[in-house]
Amino acid sequence: MAAKAKAEGAATAAAPAEGEEKKAKGGGGSKKKKDEGGEALPFPAGYVPRLKKRFDEQIAAALASELKIENKLALPRVEKVIISMGLGKAIAEKPRLEAAQKELTAIAGQKAVICKAKKSVSNFKLREGMEIGLKVTLRGNRMWEFLDRLIMVAIPRVKDFRGLNPKGFDGRGNYSMGLTEQTVFPEVDAAAVTFHQGMNITLVTSAGSNEKAFALLKHIGMPFRTDDKK
Residue pLDDT tens, the chain, 230 long = 444 444 433 333 344 444 444 444 444 444 456 566 666 668 888 999 999 999 999 999 999 999 999 999 999 999 999 999 987 665 667 788 889 999 999 999 999 998 877 777 766 666 777 778 899 999 999 999 999 999 999 999 999 999 999 999 999 999 999 999 999 999 999 888 888 889 999 999 999 999 999 999 999 999 999 875 55
Query: Does residue 228 fall inside a structural domain?
Result: no
The CATH number of the domain where 193 resides is what? Answer: 3.30.1440.10
Q: Is 226 a member of any domain? A: no
Q: Which residues contact 98 (CB under 8 A, 6 or more apart)?
A: none
Establish if 105 belongs to a structural domain: yes
Helix (H), strand (E) at residue 203: strand 199-205
Max CA-CA distance within the chain? 54
Q: Is residue 134 part of a domain?
A: yes
Structurally, the chain folds into a number of domains equal to 1
Range(s) of the domain holding residue 212: 5-220
Are 164 and 222 spatial neighbours (Cβ–Cβ below 8 Å)? yes
Residue 164 domain-assigned? yes
* Exposure of 159 in the CB half-sphere (CA atoms within 13 A): 7
**What is the Cα–Cα distance from 2 to 194, expressed in whole angstroms?**
15
Q: Please check whether residue 229 lies inside any domain of the structure.
A: no
